[in-house]
Amino acid sequence: MQPRFLGQGSLKVSSLGFGCMGMSFSYATQLSTQEGFALVRGAVERGVTFFDTAEVYGPFVNEAVIGEALAPLRDKVVIATKFGFDIDPATGENRGVCSRPEVIRRSVEGALKRLRVDTIDLLYQHRVDPDVPIEDVAGAVSDLIASGKVRHFGMSEPGVQTLRRAHAVLPVTAIQNEYSLWWRAPETNGILQACDELGIGFVPYSPLGKGFLTGAIDKETLTDGDFRKTMPRFAPEAIEANRVLVDLLSRVADDKGATLAQIALAWLLARRGYIVPIPGTTKIGRLEENLGAADLVLTTDELSRIEQAANQIQIVGNRYAPQHEALVGREAVATSAVRKSHD
Protein backbone atom coordinates (compact mmCIF):
# COMPACT_ATOMS: atom_id res chain seq x y z
CA MET A 1 0.00 0.00 0.00
CA GLN A 2 1.10 3.52 -0.71
CA PRO A 3 1.37 5.54 2.51
CA ARG A 4 -0.78 8.51 3.34
CA PHE A 5 -0.10 11.42 5.66
CA LEU A 6 -2.25 12.85 8.44
CA GLY A 7 -1.96 16.38 9.79
CA GLN A 8 -0.03 18.32 7.14
CA GLY A 9 2.23 15.37 6.44
CA SER A 10 3.35 14.92 10.03
CA LEU A 11 2.10 11.35 10.59
CA LYS A 12 2.79 8.68 7.96
CA VAL A 13 0.46 5.66 7.92
CA SER A 14 -0.76 2.97 5.55
CA SER A 15 -3.58 4.12 3.28
CA LEU A 16 -5.91 1.68 5.06
CA GLY A 17 -5.67 1.20 8.79
CA PHE A 18 -7.19 -1.45 11.03
CA GLY A 19 -10.06 -0.71 13.39
CA CYS A 20 -9.55 -3.04 16.35
CA MET A 21 -12.81 -2.46 18.27
CA GLY A 22 -14.71 -5.47 16.95
CA MET A 23 -12.09 -7.91 18.20
CA SER A 24 -13.30 -7.50 21.77
CA PHE A 25 -16.18 -5.02 21.95
CA SER A 26 -19.72 -4.37 20.68
CA TYR A 27 -20.20 -7.38 18.41
CA ALA A 28 -21.64 -10.71 19.45
CA THR A 29 -18.60 -12.65 18.23
CA GLN A 30 -15.32 -11.81 19.96
CA LEU A 31 -11.85 -13.17 19.38
CA SER A 32 -9.67 -14.99 21.85
CA THR A 33 -6.35 -13.39 22.68
CA GLN A 34 -4.47 -15.75 20.40
CA GLU A 35 -6.91 -15.17 17.55
CA GLY A 36 -6.45 -11.43 18.06
CA PHE A 37 -2.67 -11.77 17.95
CA ALA A 38 -2.85 -13.71 14.69
CA LEU A 39 -5.17 -11.19 13.08
CA VAL A 40 -3.17 -8.11 14.11
CA ARG A 41 0.16 -9.61 13.12
CA GLY A 42 -1.37 -10.82 9.86
CA ALA A 43 -2.41 -7.24 9.14
CA VAL A 44 1.16 -6.03 9.64
CA GLU A 45 2.46 -8.78 7.35
CA ARG A 46 0.06 -7.49 4.66
CA GLY A 47 1.22 -3.88 4.91
CA VAL A 48 -1.01 -2.30 7.56
CA THR A 49 0.91 0.12 9.78
CA PHE A 50 -1.97 1.99 11.47
CA PHE A 51 -3.95 0.41 14.33
CA ASP A 52 -6.85 2.00 16.18
CA THR A 53 -7.94 1.03 19.69
CA ALA A 54 -9.43 2.74 22.77
CA GLU A 55 -9.51 2.52 26.54
CA VAL A 56 -13.27 1.93 26.53
CA TYR A 57 -13.09 -1.11 24.24
CA GLY A 58 -13.48 -3.80 26.83
CA PRO A 59 -12.81 -1.65 28.81
CA PHE A 60 -9.02 -2.05 28.73
CA VAL A 61 -9.02 -5.48 27.05
CA ASN A 62 -8.54 -4.21 23.49
CA GLU A 63 -5.57 -2.02 24.35
CA ALA A 64 -3.91 -4.89 26.20
CA VAL A 65 -4.28 -7.31 23.28
CA ILE A 66 -3.05 -4.75 20.75
CA GLY A 67 -0.12 -3.83 22.98
CA GLU A 68 1.03 -7.41 23.37
CA ALA A 69 0.47 -8.30 19.70
CA LEU A 70 2.41 -5.29 18.41
CA ALA A 71 5.18 -5.18 21.02
CA PRO A 72 7.69 -7.03 18.79
CA LEU A 73 6.71 -4.80 15.83
CA ARG A 74 6.66 -1.42 17.56
CA ASP A 75 9.06 0.26 15.14
CA LYS A 76 6.85 -0.72 12.17
CA VAL A 77 3.48 0.59 13.33
CA VAL A 78 1.50 3.64 14.42
CA ILE A 79 -0.90 3.06 17.33
CA ALA A 80 -3.87 5.32 18.04
CA THR A 81 -5.95 5.15 21.21
CA LYS A 82 -8.56 7.31 22.92
CA PHE A 83 -9.56 8.92 26.20
CA GLY A 84 -12.86 10.53 27.06
CA PHE A 85 -14.71 8.35 29.56
CA ASP A 86 -14.42 8.14 33.33
CA ILE A 87 -13.63 4.43 33.72
CA ASP A 88 -12.90 2.98 37.14
CA PRO A 89 -9.39 1.48 36.90
CA ALA A 90 -10.26 -1.26 39.40
CA THR A 91 -13.68 -2.41 38.19
CA GLY A 92 -13.86 -1.18 34.59
CA GLU A 93 -17.14 0.60 35.35
CA ASN A 94 -17.80 3.28 32.73
CA ARG A 95 -19.16 6.30 34.59
CA GLY A 96 -19.81 8.30 31.45
CA VAL A 97 -18.22 10.90 29.21
CA CYS A 98 -15.46 12.82 30.99
CA SER A 99 -12.50 14.83 29.72
CA ARG A 100 -11.34 16.47 32.91
CA PRO A 101 -7.55 16.89 32.71
CA GLU A 102 -6.93 14.53 35.64
CA VAL A 103 -9.01 11.84 33.93
CA ILE A 104 -7.08 12.34 30.69
CA ARG A 105 -3.79 11.89 32.52
CA ARG A 106 -5.04 8.74 34.27
CA SER A 107 -6.26 7.31 30.99
CA VAL A 108 -2.93 7.92 29.30
CA GLU A 109 -0.91 6.38 32.12
CA GLY A 110 -3.03 3.24 31.89
CA ALA A 111 -2.86 3.13 28.10
CA LEU A 112 0.93 3.40 28.09
CA LYS A 113 1.17 0.31 30.28
CA ARG A 114 -1.43 -1.70 28.39
CA LEU A 115 0.01 -0.79 24.99
CA ARG A 116 3.56 -1.46 26.22
CA VAL A 117 4.85 1.79 24.77
CA ASP A 118 6.67 4.84 26.04
CA THR A 119 4.73 7.17 23.76
CA ILE A 120 1.24 7.04 22.23
CA ASP A 121 1.48 7.95 18.54
CA LEU A 122 -2.01 9.45 18.19
CA LEU A 123 -4.29 10.24 21.13
CA TYR A 124 -7.92 11.03 20.36
CA GLN A 125 -10.57 12.57 22.54
CA HIS A 126 -13.15 9.80 22.05
CA ARG A 127 -16.24 11.97 22.55
CA VAL A 128 -16.58 15.65 23.33
CA ASP A 129 -17.34 16.46 26.95
CA PRO A 130 -19.64 19.51 26.83
CA ASP A 131 -18.85 20.29 30.46
CA VAL A 132 -15.12 20.79 29.90
CA PRO A 133 -13.88 23.65 27.72
CA ILE A 134 -12.08 22.17 24.74
CA GLU A 135 -9.20 24.58 25.41
CA ASP A 136 -8.57 22.76 28.68
CA VAL A 137 -8.65 19.39 26.92
CA ALA A 138 -6.18 20.56 24.26
CA GLY A 139 -4.01 22.07 26.98
CA ALA A 140 -3.89 18.80 28.92
CA VAL A 141 -2.87 16.89 25.77
CA SER A 142 -0.28 19.57 25.01
CA ASP A 143 1.27 18.89 28.42
CA LEU A 144 1.39 15.17 27.61
CA ILE A 145 3.08 15.89 24.29
CA ALA A 146 5.62 18.13 26.03
CA SER A 147 6.40 15.31 28.48
CA GLY A 148 6.97 12.81 25.66
CA LYS A 149 3.98 10.59 26.46
CA VAL A 150 1.98 11.52 23.34
CA ARG A 151 3.03 12.51 19.81
CA HIS A 152 -0.16 13.71 18.11
CA PHE A 153 -3.60 15.00 19.14
CA GLY A 154 -6.82 13.81 17.55
CA MET A 155 -10.57 14.13 18.09
CA SER A 156 -13.46 11.78 17.40
CA GLU A 157 -16.91 13.10 16.47
CA PRO A 158 -16.42 16.76 17.42
CA GLY A 159 -18.68 19.50 16.16
CA VAL A 160 -16.95 21.80 13.68
CA GLN A 161 -16.64 24.78 16.02
CA THR A 162 -15.15 22.62 18.78
CA LEU A 163 -12.66 21.23 16.26
CA ARG A 164 -11.62 24.73 15.23
CA ARG A 165 -11.27 25.90 18.83
CA ALA A 166 -9.17 22.89 19.77
CA HIS A 167 -6.92 23.34 16.75
CA ALA A 168 -6.28 26.96 17.73
CA VAL A 169 -4.75 25.74 21.01
CA LEU A 170 -3.01 22.57 19.82
CA PRO A 171 -2.83 21.43 16.17
CA VAL A 172 -5.19 18.53 15.58
CA THR A 173 -3.46 15.88 13.48
CA ALA A 174 -6.56 13.83 12.67
CA ILE A 175 -10.24 13.51 13.36
CA GLN A 176 -12.06 10.21 13.46
CA ASN A 177 -15.69 10.59 12.44
CA GLU A 178 -18.08 8.18 10.82
CA TYR A 179 -18.02 8.53 7.04
CA SER A 180 -19.14 6.19 4.29
CA LEU A 181 -21.51 6.02 1.37
CA TRP A 182 -24.38 5.61 3.80
CA TRP A 183 -23.28 8.32 6.26
CA ARG A 184 -22.10 11.39 4.36
CA ALA A 185 -22.68 14.08 6.98
CA PRO A 186 -19.01 15.21 6.97
CA GLU A 187 -19.60 16.56 3.47
CA THR A 188 -22.33 18.92 4.64
CA ASN A 189 -21.68 19.73 8.32
CA GLY A 190 -18.43 21.63 7.81
CA ILE A 191 -16.04 18.94 9.05
CA LEU A 192 -14.42 18.15 5.71
CA GLN A 193 -14.18 21.85 4.91
CA ALA A 194 -12.39 22.43 8.21
CA CYS A 195 -9.98 19.58 7.48
CA ASP A 196 -9.27 21.09 4.06
CA GLU A 197 -8.60 24.51 5.54
CA LEU A 198 -6.59 23.45 8.59
CA GLY A 199 -4.60 20.55 7.19
CA ILE A 200 -6.22 17.93 9.42
CA GLY A 201 -6.30 14.27 8.44
CA PHE A 202 -9.59 12.36 8.36
CA VAL A 203 -9.89 8.78 9.63
CA PRO A 204 -13.35 7.40 8.80
CA TYR A 205 -14.65 4.80 11.21
CA SER A 206 -17.35 2.38 10.06
CA PRO A 207 -16.27 2.96 6.43
CA LEU A 208 -18.28 -0.13 5.46
CA GLY A 209 -21.40 1.00 7.31
CA LYS A 210 -20.75 -1.43 10.19
CA GLY A 211 -20.76 -4.24 7.66
CA PHE A 212 -23.89 -3.25 5.77
CA LEU A 213 -22.04 -2.09 2.66
CA THR A 214 -20.42 -5.52 2.24
CA GLY A 215 -23.82 -6.95 1.30
CA ALA A 216 -23.49 -9.60 4.00
CA ILE A 217 -26.20 -8.28 6.34
CA ASP A 218 -29.89 -8.95 6.07
CA LYS A 219 -32.70 -8.77 8.62
CA GLU A 220 -31.84 -12.26 9.89
CA THR A 221 -28.09 -11.71 10.30
CA LEU A 222 -27.76 -9.91 13.62
CA THR A 223 -27.76 -11.95 16.82
CA ASP A 224 -28.32 -11.09 20.47
CA GLY A 225 -25.38 -9.19 21.93
CA ASP A 226 -24.64 -7.37 18.68
CA PHE A 227 -24.82 -3.61 19.34
CA ARG A 228 -26.15 -2.99 15.82
CA LYS A 229 -29.50 -4.38 16.96
CA THR A 230 -29.94 -1.18 18.99
CA MET A 231 -29.53 1.04 15.93
CA PRO A 232 -32.56 2.27 13.98
CA ARG A 233 -30.64 1.88 10.73
CA PHE A 234 -30.40 -1.86 11.38
CA ALA A 235 -34.07 -2.41 12.12
CA PRO A 236 -35.46 -5.08 9.74
CA GLU A 237 -37.54 -2.59 7.76
CA ALA A 238 -34.57 -0.20 7.44
CA ILE A 239 -32.29 -3.00 6.25
CA GLU A 240 -34.79 -3.84 3.54
CA ALA A 241 -35.22 -0.21 2.49
CA ASN A 242 -31.48 0.48 2.42
CA ARG A 243 -30.76 -2.53 0.24
CA VAL A 244 -30.88 -0.16 -2.74
CA LEU A 245 -27.45 1.16 -1.75
CA VAL A 246 -26.05 -2.38 -1.70
CA ASP A 247 -27.56 -2.92 -5.14
CA LEU A 248 -25.73 0.17 -6.41
CA LEU A 249 -22.40 -1.11 -5.09
CA SER A 250 -23.10 -4.54 -6.57
CA ARG A 251 -23.55 -3.08 -10.04
CA VAL A 252 -20.31 -1.13 -9.86
CA ALA A 253 -18.44 -4.06 -8.32
CA ASP A 254 -19.61 -6.42 -11.08
CA ASP A 255 -18.40 -4.03 -13.76
CA LYS A 256 -15.08 -3.51 -11.98
CA GLY A 257 -14.39 -7.13 -11.07
CA ALA A 258 -14.21 -6.16 -7.39
CA THR A 259 -16.20 -6.74 -4.21
CA LEU A 260 -18.74 -4.38 -2.66
CA ALA A 261 -16.40 -3.65 0.25
CA GLN A 262 -13.58 -2.76 -2.11
CA ILE A 263 -15.76 -0.33 -4.05
CA ALA A 264 -16.99 1.34 -0.84
CA LEU A 265 -13.44 1.75 0.48
CA ALA A 266 -12.01 2.88 -2.87
CA TRP A 267 -14.75 5.53 -3.06
CA LEU A 268 -13.65 6.89 0.32
CA LEU A 269 -9.97 6.85 -0.62
CA ALA A 270 -10.82 8.90 -3.71
CA ARG A 271 -12.59 11.62 -1.71
CA ARG A 272 -9.42 13.18 -0.26
CA GLY A 273 -5.73 12.31 -0.24
CA TYR A 274 -5.66 12.66 3.54
CA ILE A 275 -8.48 10.17 4.19
CA VAL A 276 -7.40 6.91 5.85
CA PRO A 277 -10.30 4.51 6.50
CA ILE A 278 -10.01 1.98 9.33
CA PRO A 279 -12.23 -1.00 8.46
CA GLY A 280 -12.37 -3.66 11.12
CA THR A 281 -12.85 -7.39 10.82
CA THR A 282 -12.29 -10.60 12.73
CA LYS A 283 -11.34 -12.66 9.68
CA ILE A 284 -8.10 -12.77 7.70
CA GLY A 285 -10.05 -13.31 4.48
CA ARG A 286 -12.06 -10.13 5.01
CA LEU A 287 -8.87 -8.27 5.91
CA GLU A 288 -7.27 -9.29 2.62
CA GLU A 289 -10.42 -8.31 0.75
CA ASN A 290 -10.47 -4.87 2.37
CA LEU A 291 -6.80 -4.24 1.65
CA GLY A 292 -7.46 -4.94 -2.02
CA ALA A 293 -9.23 -1.58 -2.15
CA ALA A 294 -5.89 0.21 -1.79
CA ASP A 295 -4.94 -0.94 -5.29
CA LEU A 296 -8.34 -0.30 -6.85
CA VAL A 297 -8.61 2.93 -8.84
CA LEU A 298 -12.06 4.25 -9.67
CA THR A 299 -12.16 6.35 -12.82
CA THR A 300 -13.72 9.78 -12.97
CA ASP A 301 -16.67 8.29 -14.84
CA GLU A 302 -17.12 5.54 -12.25
CA LEU A 303 -16.98 8.01 -9.38
CA SER A 304 -19.51 10.23 -11.15
CA ARG A 305 -21.80 7.24 -11.69
CA ILE A 306 -21.65 6.34 -8.01
CA GLU A 307 -22.22 9.94 -6.98
CA GLN A 308 -25.23 10.47 -9.21
CA ALA A 309 -26.87 7.23 -8.15
CA ALA A 310 -26.10 7.67 -4.44
CA ASN A 311 -27.58 11.17 -4.48
CA GLN A 312 -30.93 9.67 -5.48
CA ILE A 313 -31.00 7.27 -2.52
CA GLN A 314 -32.72 8.22 0.72
CA ILE A 315 -31.18 6.23 3.55
CA VAL A 316 -33.73 5.05 6.12
CA GLY A 317 -33.12 5.12 9.88
CA ASN A 318 -30.92 7.09 12.26
CA ARG A 319 -27.41 5.78 12.71
CA TYR A 320 -27.64 5.53 16.53
CA ALA A 321 -30.26 5.18 19.23
CA PRO A 322 -31.03 8.55 20.87
CA GLN A 323 -28.76 8.09 23.90
CA HIS A 324 -25.78 7.41 21.66
CA GLU A 325 -26.71 9.96 19.01
CA ALA A 326 -26.42 12.62 21.71
CA LEU A 327 -22.69 11.88 22.05
CA VAL A 328 -21.68 12.51 18.43
CA GLY A 329 -21.13 15.72 16.53
CA ARG A 330 -21.59 17.88 19.60
CA GLU A 331 -19.83 20.99 20.82
CA ALA A 332 -17.94 21.65 24.05
CA VAL A 333 -18.89 24.69 26.09
CA ALA A 334 -17.39 27.94 24.88
CA THR A 335 -14.99 29.84 27.07
CA SER A 336 -13.25 33.18 26.75
CA ALA A 337 -10.89 32.38 29.62
CA VAL A 338 -7.25 31.64 29.15
CA ARG A 339 -6.43 27.98 29.63
CA LYS A 340 -7.01 26.86 33.21
CA SER A 341 -4.35 25.31 35.40
CA HIS A 342 -4.11 21.53 35.22
CA ASP A 343 -2.49 21.12 38.61
**Secondary structure of the chain as H, E, C letters:** CCEEEECCCCEEEECCCEECHHHCCCCCCCCCHHHHHHHHHHHHHCCCCEEECCCCCCCCHHHHHHHHHHHHHHHHCEEEEEECEEECCCCCCEEEECCCHHHHHHHHHHHHHHHCCCCEEEEEECCCCCCCCHHHHHHHHHHHHHCCCEEEEEEECECHHHHHHHHHHCCEEEEECECECCECHHHCCCHHHHHHHHCCEECCECCCCCCHHHCCCCCCCCCCCCHHHHCHHHCHHHHHHHHHHHHHHHHHHHHHCCCHHHHHHHHHHHHCCCECCCCCCCCHHHHHHHHHHHHCCCCHHHHHHHHHHHCCCCCCCCCCCHHHHCCCCECCCCCCCCCCCCC
In a domain, 217, yes or no: no
Give the tens place of pLDDT for each residue, 215-250: 999 878 888 888 899 999 999 999 999 999 999 999
| pLDDT digits (tens), the chain, 343 positions | 899 999 988 899 999 999 999 998 877 678 999 999 999 999 999 999 999 999 999 999 999 999 999 999 999 999 999 999 999 999 999 999 999 999 999 999 999 999 999 999 999 999 999 999 999 999 999 999 999 999 999 999 999 999 999 999 999 999 999 999 999 999 999 999 999 999 999 999 999 999 999 999 987 888 888 889 999 999 999 999 999 999 999 999 999 999 999 999 999 999 999 999 999 999 999 999 999 999 999 999 999 999 999 999 999 999 999 999 999 999 998 764 444 444 3
In a domain, 302, yes or no: no
Number of domains in the chain: 1
**Looking at residue 122, which CATH number applies to its domain?**
3.20.20.100
Residue 149's domain comprises 3-209+266-297
In a domain, 130, yes or no: yes
* pLDDT confidence of residue 341: 41
Which residues does the annotation mark as catalytic? Answer: 57
In a domain, 187, yes or no: yes
- Say if pTM beats, i.e. exceeds, 0.85: yes
In a domain, 157, yes or no: yes
In a domain, 173, yes or no: yes
